[in-house]
């Protein structure tokens, strides 16, 4: 047991029993002022992108380039799930709040991983059929003692942060219609904002705001116009309808707001990203053309009433499933000698956009991956210069990027220190062909393209990389190839670090300035979620949810990509502190039990080779159950090693009593 943090935590865990009994007001009592000052209050991770600006940048620097190599597993919580984990945990007041598959919410002691409570919204399992991209959830929002979550079946729930008891619940989607929620809510000024998905299944996109206290609907803003015969909800939508043709409303139009949001408290503007059209094929959706506002757009809304202030459409008349729902990051950059308040996005279509976030005016846009569908973005009009034929109206077309995107929902991060954005980028060649037999079916997958073409093509022409991008110069600074695409979101810190998990189950720390690999571990499952960092009692922790899944996993399948898909887990690392005293060690064993002590010893001395929790992800033997398999041979191997093989003699580090604890732990695995 070398984790002083965990030792402290056992004491704290006793107190947390008390905490369960205090009122919600005293637990996670975070409010607007706290969220506005999140940049300064470094120890927590209070909102989805840490701050309202969604930079996913932490000012913590206890962990830095000089000591990160010593990072060790502090705790691991197995979620008991095998499908994709995509959530960014929220960490406030020593508690971690996050979600797993089927929108289940869990609260854990952030120091030890000890479960505090769990809320299962009991989503009907048939909803899984209308979830385009797995039964995932990207996390909760925490505000004034409450935890807010959107559930896959379209509810928004408010839970007591201290107990997990539901306080109110509202249905945010119509009874009929194939809507789902996978994105995390955001909260500002007492309003809980939530969108939804389902454009592949023929829905009309919108975003809603609810009163945090009682769940009253405050406003709802649609991203695309509905049937004109029903009247338009706003003059803006009436204008937008002029960019559509035919009977687009019959398949909903799409434009769902299923993930990204950011908020600027000074300008008091809420930014949301909208998704692709429904169906994908523009000739089927809006025969005769048109931009189809506000598909694939960034919308700036007044959070008081949802009114549209400005919009920027990244892919007019989208026909490739080029959503603009990818992470939105706000930053202040000096561009051509002028300080600019900008909004940045690297959407699926392959261009990195820098916009003036007050006006929506395009500052710059350059391709961050290979792009064939457009030759660039016109700086005057802000419109892409589409390449002839790439809309596959004439037949089969190969297009880059593809509907998986040059970058998908996996969040990028931005480090104001290095001035770089860290993008989980990918290169996937798409083969598009209009489905000659397309017949829309209500509440079914209605994209209008022949997806078999992609399947036949297979995941052979795919790769992914971590891309460090200079948004001022609009150029690549460094990249780390990953082989596989569909890697995890990123985190960057003042310690000059970038963290990212990979599709093949690694979790890696890089030097932020040049991408040098500083530390690598194995999680036992492909990682797609983004990591977070927080500090408690002077210990800085880094945490990520590991669990391969989502859209790519459904198409390729982990096996097809050679991905090991172990059980889902939350893994948290920290620097080991000095060895405990005999009394501390004794106290720990009696307080936490021998299994806990063995687990920690294993992770101090063995896991760096044999894998976290005994799960090997390399050629080194998996040691779960090894003691009974090897009998007394186990003790001999650990004591003296196996010469010439790389198994070191651990005798000098692990005495007989400690070995017995490790033995016991591995036997229980």
Active site residue ranges:
321
Q: What angle do CA 371, 374, 378 make, to 5 degrees?
A: 120
CB of 67 to ligand HEC, least distance (A): 20
- Minimum CB distance to ligand HEC, residue 668 (Å): 14
Distance CA 78, CA 55 (A): 28
Other C-beta atoms closer than 10 Å to the C-beta of 144 total 18
Is 638 a binder of ligand HEC (CB under 6 A)? yes
**Count of CB atoms situated within 10 Å of the CB of 429:** 16
- ∠ at Cα 30 (24, 33), nearest 5°? 145
CB of 638 to ligand HEC, least distance (A): 5
Closest distance to ligand HEC from the beta carbon of 57 (Å): 34
Instruction: Name which of 472 and 660 has its Cβ closer to ligand HEC.
Output: 660
Q: What binding mask, one character per residue, do residues 600-629 give for ligand HEC by CB under 6 A, x or -? A: -----xx-xxx---------xx-x--x---
What is the rounded CA–CA span in Å between residue 179 and residue 200? 10
Q: How far is the CB of 653 from ligand HEC (least distance, A)?
A: 7
Q: Cα separations (Å) of 65 from 60, 71, 499, 588? A: 12, 11, 12, 31
Angle at 178 between CA 175 and CA 183, to 5 degrees: 100
Q: Does the protein bind ligand HEC through residue 645 (CB under 6 A)?
A: yes
Query: Where does this chain touch ligand HEC (CB under 6 A) — which range of 128-136, 413-421, 465-473, 639-647?
Result: 639-647
Contact 216, 235 (CB under 8 A): no
Alpha-carbon distance of 265 to 186, in angstroms, equals: 13
Cβ nearer to ligand HEC, comparing 419 with 648 = 648
| Residue (242 or 629) nearer to ligand HEC, CB | 629
CA distance 604 to 442: 55
Q: Would you count residue 115 as binding ligand HEC (CB under 6 A)?
A: no
Regarding 634 and contact with ligand HEC (CB under 6 A), the answer is yes
Q: Which of 637, 639, 660, 668 binds ligand HEC (CB under 6 A)?
A: 637
The residue written with tokens 């930079």 in the block is 55
Assess 650 for contact with ligand HEC (CB under 6 A): yes
381 binds ligand HEC (CB under 6 A): no
Of 484, 432, 485, whose CA–CA distance to 454 is shortest? 432
Indicate if the alpha-carbon torsion angle 38, 39, 42, 45 is positive or negative: positive
- Residues 558-597, one symbol each (x = binds ligand HEC by CB under 6 A, - = not), give ----------------------------------------
Cβ neighbors of 601 (< 8 A, separation 6 or more) are: 1, 654, 658, 661, 662, 665
- Report, in Å, the least distance between residue 644 CB and ligand HEC: 9
| Residue among 255 and 627 whose Cβ is closer to ligand HEC | 627
Distance CA 568, CA 614 (A): 15
Nearest distance, CB of residue 658 and ligand HEC, angstroms: 8
- CA 512 to CA 421: how far, in whole Å? 10
Compute the least distance from the CB of residue 627 to ligand HEC, in Å. Answer: 7
Q: Which two three-digit tokens encode residue 616?
A: 């090997």
Q: Output the smallest distance, CB 70 to ligand HEC, in A.
A: 14
> In this chain, which stretch among 42-50, 308-316, 492-500, 634-642 interacts with ligand HEC, using CB under 6 A?
634-642
Q: Is residue 642 at the binding interface for ligand HEC, with CB under 6 A as the rule?
A: yes
429, 461 in Cβ contact below 8 A?
A: yes
Please state, in angstroms and rounded to a whole number, the distance separating the CA atoms of residues 425 and 488. 10
User: Which range in 143-151, 419-427, 517-525, 641-649 contacts ligand HEC by CB under 6 A?
Assistant: 641-649
Site for ligand HEC in 347-366 (CB under 6 A): none
Select 580 or 621, whichever has its Cβ closest to ligand HEC: 621
Is the peptide bond prior to 279 cis by the omega test (within 30 degrees of 0)?
yes
N- to C-terminal Cα separation, the chain: 18
- Interface with ligand HEC, residue 648, by CB under 6 A: yes
646 contacts ligand HEC (rule: CB under 6 A):
yes
The answer to whether the beta carbons of residues 327 and 345 sit under 8 Å apart is yes
417 vs 648 by CB, closer to ligand HEC: 648
Position 108 contacts ligand HEC (CB under 6 A): no
How many residues sit in the footprint of ligand HEC (CB under 6 A)?
21
When the beta carbons of 608 and 664 are compared against ligand HEC, the nearer one is 608
Q: Which C-beta is closer to ligand HEC: that of 282 or that of 610? A: 610
CB 610 to ligand HEC: min, Å: 6
Question: Which residues, at least 6 apart from 269, have a Cβ–Cβ distance to it below 8 Å?
Answer: 263, 300, 301, 302, 303, 309, 357, 358
Using CB under 6 A, which of the segments 145-153, 282-290, 344-352, 646-654 binds ligand HEC?
646-654
Stretch that binds ligand HEC, among 137-145, 374-382, 551-559, 645-653 (CB under 6 A): 645-653
Tokens of 330: 């706000």
CA-CA-CA-CA torsion sign (355, 360, 362, 365) = positive
Sites of contact with ligand HEC (CB under 6 A): 605-606, 608-610, 620-621, 623, 626, 630, 634, 637-638, 642, 645-648, 650, 654, 662
């Amino acid at each position: 047991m070398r984790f002083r943090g965990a030792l402290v935590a056992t004491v704290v865990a006793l107190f947390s029993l008390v905490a369960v009994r205090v009122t919600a007001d005293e637990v996670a009592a975070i409010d607007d002022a706290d969220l506005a000052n999140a940049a300064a209050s470094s120890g927590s991770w209070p909102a989805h992108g840490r701050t309202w600006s969604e930079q996913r940048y932490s000012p913590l620097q206890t962990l830095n380039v000089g000591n990160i190599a010593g990072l060790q597993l502090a705790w691991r919580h197995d979620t008991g799930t095998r499908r994709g984990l995509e959530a960014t945990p929220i960490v406030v007041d020593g508690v971690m709040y996050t979600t797993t598959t089927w929108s289940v919410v869990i609260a854990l002691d952030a120091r030890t991983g000890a479960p505090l409570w769990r809320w299962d919204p009991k989503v009907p399992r048939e909803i899984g059929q209308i979830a385009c991209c797995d039964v995932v959830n990207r996390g909760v929002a925490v505000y004034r003692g409450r935890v807010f979550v959107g559930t896959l079946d379209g509810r928004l729930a408010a839970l007591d942060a201290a107990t997990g008891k539901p306080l109110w619940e509202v249905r945010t989607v119509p009874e009929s219609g194939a809507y789902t929620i996978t994105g995390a809510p955001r909260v500002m000024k007492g309003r809980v904002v939530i969108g939804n998905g389902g454009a592949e299944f023929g829905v009309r996109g919108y975003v809603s705001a609810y009163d945090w206290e009682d769940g009253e609907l405050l406003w709802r803003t649609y991203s695309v116009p509905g049937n004109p015969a029903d009247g338009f909800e706003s003059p803006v939508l009436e204008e937008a309808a002029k960019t559509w043709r035919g009977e687009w409303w019959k398949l909903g139009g799409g434009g769902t707001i299923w993930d990204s949001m950011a908020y600027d408290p000074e300008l008091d503007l809420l930014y949301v990203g909208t998704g692709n059209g429904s169906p994908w094929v523009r000739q089927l959706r809006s025969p005769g053309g048109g931009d189809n506002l506000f598909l694939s757009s960034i919308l700036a809304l007044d959070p008081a009433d949802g009114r549209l202030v400005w919009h920027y459409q990244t892919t007019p008349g989208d026909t490739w499933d080029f959503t603009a729902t990818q992470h939105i990051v706000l930053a202040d950059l000096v561009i051509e000698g002028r300080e600019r308040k900008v909004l940045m996005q690297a959407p699926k279509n392959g261009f990195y956009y820098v916009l003036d976030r007050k006006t929506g005016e395009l500052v710059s846009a350059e391709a961050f991956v290979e792009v064939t569908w457009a030759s660039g973005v016109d700086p005057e009009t802000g419109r892409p210069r589409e390449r002839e034929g790439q809309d596959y109206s004439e037949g089969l077309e190969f297009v880059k990027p593809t509907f998986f995107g040059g970058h998908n929902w996996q969040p990028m991060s931005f480090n104001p220190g290095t001035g770089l954005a860290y993008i989980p980028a990918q290169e996937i060649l798409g083969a598009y062909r209009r489905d000659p037999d397309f017949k829309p079916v209500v509440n079914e997958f209605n994209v209008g393209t022949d997806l078999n073409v992609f399947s036949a093509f297979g995941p052979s022409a795919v790769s992914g990389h971590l891309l460090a991008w200079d948004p001022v110069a609009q150029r690549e600074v460094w990249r780390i190839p990953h082989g596989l695409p569909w890697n995890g979101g990123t985190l960057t810190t003042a310690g000059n670090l970038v963290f990212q998990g990979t599709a093949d189950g690694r979790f890696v720390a890089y030097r932020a300035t040049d991408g040098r690999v500083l530390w690598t571990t194995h999680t036992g499952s492909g990682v797609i979620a983004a990591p977070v960092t927080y500090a408690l009692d002077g210990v800085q922790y880094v945490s990520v949810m590991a669990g391969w899944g989502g859209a790519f996993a459904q198409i390729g399948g982990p096996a097809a990509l050679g991905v090991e898909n172990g059980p889902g887990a939350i893994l948290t690392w920290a620097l080991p502190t000095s060895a405990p005293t005999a009394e501390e060690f004794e106290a720990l064993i009696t307080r936490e039990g021998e299994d806990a002590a063995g687990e920690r010893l294993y992770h101090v001395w063995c896991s760096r080779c044999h894998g976290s929790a005994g799960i090997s992800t390399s050629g080194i033997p998996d040691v779960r159950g090894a003691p009974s398999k090897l009998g007394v041979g186990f003790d001999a191997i650990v004591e003296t090693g196996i010469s010439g093989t790389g198994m070191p003699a651990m005798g000098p580090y692990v005495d007989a009593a400690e070995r017995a604890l490790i033995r016991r732990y591995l036997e229980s695995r």
